[in-house]
Chains A and B, each alone.
Chain A
Amino acid sequence: MSKFWLLVKQLYKQKVKAKSFIFSIVLYIAVISGVMFWSDIKEAFFQDEAMQIALVNETNAELEGLFESTSDIEFTFPNEDIADLEKQVIDGEYAAAIFVKDQENSLAAEIATFEPLTFNDQLSISSILQYAGKLYEVQQLNLTAEQAEKILQSETVISMKNLNEQSVSGKSEDEKAAGIGASFLVGFLIYSFVMTFLSMITTEVASEKGSRVLEVLLASVKPATHFMAKLTGIFLLALTQIAALLIIQGLLFMFIDGGSKWDLVMEIANELSLTYIGYAVAFLLLTIILYLILGALLGSLVSKVEEAGQAMMPAMMLGLTGFYVLISGMASPDTMLIKVFSYIPFTSGMVMPLRIGATDLAAFQPMLSMLILIGTVILLFLLSLSFYKRSVLTYSSGGIIQKIKTVLKVTT
């Protein structure tokens, strides 16, 4: 086995067996499963009783049919007087009493509560009342059932026609929604992986340098071999983690709850184009490589492992910036901020997939962003390789800038 693969094997074996690595996979699966199966978990563990709402109909119309009980809200229609009902609300028998009356052919409602309603409950009740109000008004117009149905179900058919031949064909709303959802997942994964493996490689190099084992290793292998072995070992770990996540999560989706979540994932995946998936994977892997190179370089600057946190701070800020820009684009993926950051190499991996998935953009734009990213990876690799050789055996104090100055001073 060559020295390069021996170093890779040693690093990979040591890290893949580490409790922290296994724990991080479990944590990712727990978080993703928690989000995906939240409704089932909620049902199993938090079976709240439905909120009791007394509804008093003071109109002449038949309204009971408009207020259907759900698992969260149970409507009852008592015939008691207002004072008695209000007392029952105060006593906690009802969460709220709603008094509905006619006001100039429109529905007016008064909600009486003792304990304030939560924001979500208030929204749910408001939504039901708004819908009931529309139905009430339709009833007042004395329309036929078909006419009423038509008005209530009316929806404008919208289609897109793209006049720009250079641009890709317009995406449907469903495709864009799927693109936003998938992009958030891709962006979140890139951000999480980048932070995890950036920290891992910086600490790894700093630890070897701090413990002086690096000096022994470099007596046997060239710094370039060592640098490449660190990048390869940690990158293989990242691939292992991605593969483990995909396989375990996929199996969980397939076999839990009759595969309903797997169907949902497939449904979203079908809305995404192959181009999107290809770009997302390429951005994911390239961004991880970019941050690994930066992490190894920063790790080589410190004198002891305790300084690794401080050294990786600038790279973490870059990653965090990309993630915040991605979040800002969830509601509106067409802003100038999103456009600018989709070309900056350290953030494009998180931001460009959002633009590809959720906006209509010319084919050259993601291609250009990808080329800038590839160019930066190559450039940073060459620069880091040259600098690594000089910094890896230089020990100095002070901040990162001071350390860089020292390296340059003692090696030129």
Chain B
Amino acid sequence: MTLFIDQVTKKYQDFVAVDNLSFTIEKGAIFGLIGQNGAGKTTTFRMILDLQETTEGNITWNGTHINSINRDVLGYLPEERGIFPSMTVEDQLYFFGELRGQQKKKLKKEVDYWIDRFELEDKRKAKAETLSKGNQQKVQLIASFIHKPEFLILDEPFSGLDPVNMDLLKNAILELRDNGTTILFSSHQMDNVEELCDHLCLLKRGVSLFTGSLLDLKKQYGKTKLTIRTEIPKEVLERLEGVKEIHVGKDQYTLTLINESYAQSIFDFVSNGKYIEKFSLDYLSLEEIFKDKVGGTHV
């Protein structure tokens, strides 16, 4: 059960939304598609969902062209809220479940489980329009996978959620993954992508800047982020060999090294053979890599 995107291009009259994009998502994997606004993420999702045709290239699910598969194997959460405002939470979930080929009787167990899991029991009979933004997001999310899809697309699933609900959602995504659902999602919150994804594709104006495992991406940059807590003044630290940049935090420094080989000599200098409270060498965060790749400050 793999999704295979093979040299897909989507052209409009005067611009190219997606240019020669290729990636593969294996069964049970969580794959992140990240990029700035207008990078082509939603267009890619729509092509996978057969809502838009590709100009060139092929998209297949388990070897079958995407426009020939049974659409009930797919689940989709769009970026903006997409629920019926005047329908109750429960009716909404039954409706979307039935629309994706499930029988109402069989849906009851799932509906009850997820309503309970997302703490929506007291909202079961409430109309969607009366719910808070976060609760609407939860209802919409349940609606996207109530039919137990084989492949689930989540476009910005975390937007509008508070930290507690964000954790609920992350756990639900992991549970779905553990049950065999293949998940493709996009998010502007890089920490979430970093936490959930094994593989990702980084898009800039429709072009893939990187496709592969998160670890491989990080290895491209190496362990160049050094965080230390010391009394040594900034002016001294920035003159050390191998230091490219220094950022002064509240009670610590963050140094960007040219490469990780300089870390040893810096450690020797800073510790001078004594106890040191903090010396941490790590990969760059995905957000830092993203900013570096796309060349902007806004994610």
Which A residues lie at the B interface, using CB under 8 A?
Answer: 1, 3, 6-7, 10, 14, 211-221, 393, 409-410, 412
Contacts and interface: CB of A to CB of B under 8 A. Distances in A.
Given A10-B95, A216-B144, 9 more contacts: A212-B79, A215-B82, A216-B78, A216-B82, A216-B140, A216-B143, A220-B74, A220-B100, A410-B13
A238 to B, nearest CB: 21
A219 B74 contact: yes
By Cβ-Cβ distance, the 8 closest A-B pairs, closest first, are A212-B82, A219-B76, A213-B82, A212-B80, A216-B82, A215-B78, A219-B49, A410-B12
B147 to A, nearest CB: 9
A215 B83 CA distance: 10
B13 A412 contact: yes
Contact of A393 (B52, B76, B85, B100): B52
Interface of B is mostly: loop
B72 interface: yes
Contacts of A1: 98
B46 interface: yes
Given A211-B82, A216-B143, A409 B13 contact: yes
26 contacts: A1-B98, A3-B99, A6-B95, A10-B95, A211-B82, A211-B83, A213-B82, A213-B83, A215-B76, A216-B77, A216-B78, A216-B96, A216-B140, A218-B49, A218-B51, A219-B49, A219-B51, A219-B76, A221-B71, A221-B99, A393-B46, A393-B51, A393-B52, A409-B12, A410-B12, A412-B13
Instruction: With a 10 A CB-CB cut-off, give which of A220, A393, A412 has the most chain B CB atoms.
Output: A220
Contact of A220 (B12, B46, B71): B71
B143 A14 contact: no
Contacts of B113: none
A217 B95 CA distance: 11
Contacts of B96: 216, 220
Interface string B49-93: 101100000000000000000011010111111111111000000
B81 A211 contact: yes
Contacts of A409: 12-14
A212 B51 contact: no
Interface in B1-55: 12-14, 46, 49, 51-52
A219 B95 contact: no
A337 to B, nearest CB: 43
Interface string B145-163: 0000000000000000000
B86 A14 contact: yes
B139 to A, nearest CB: 12
Interface of B: 12-14, 46, 49, 51-52, 71-72, 74, 76-87, 95-96, 98-100, 140, 143-144
Instruction: With a 10 A CB-CB cut-off, give which of A212, A213, A217, A393 has the most chain B CB atoms.
Output: A213
A1 B94 CA distance: 13
Contacts of A218: 49, 51
B99 A217 contact: yes
B153 to A, nearest CB: 8
Nearest to A10: B95
Nearest to A207: B85
A294 B99 CA distance: 26
Contacts of B100: 220
B51 A215 contact: yes
Nearest to B129: A211
Contacts of B80: 212
Contacts of A393: 46, 51-52
Nearest to B87: A14
B99 A6 contact: yes
Contacts of A221: 71, 99
A219 B71 contact: yes
A225 to B, nearest CB: 11
A214 B82 contact: yes
Contacts of B84: 14, 211, 213
A393 B99 CA distance: 20
A218 B51 CA distance: 7
B137 to A, nearest CB: 12
Contacts of A212: 78-82
A221 B74 CA distance: 11
B112 to A, nearest CB: 21
A220 B99 contact: yes
Given A1-B98, A14-B87, A211-B83, A216 B13 contact: no
Nearest to B76: A219
Nearest to B12: A410
A212 B136 CA distance: 13
A219 B154 CA distance: 12
A221 B49 CA distance: 10
A111 to B, nearest CB: 63
B85 A211 contact: yes
A410 B53 CA distance: 12
B76 A216 contact: yes
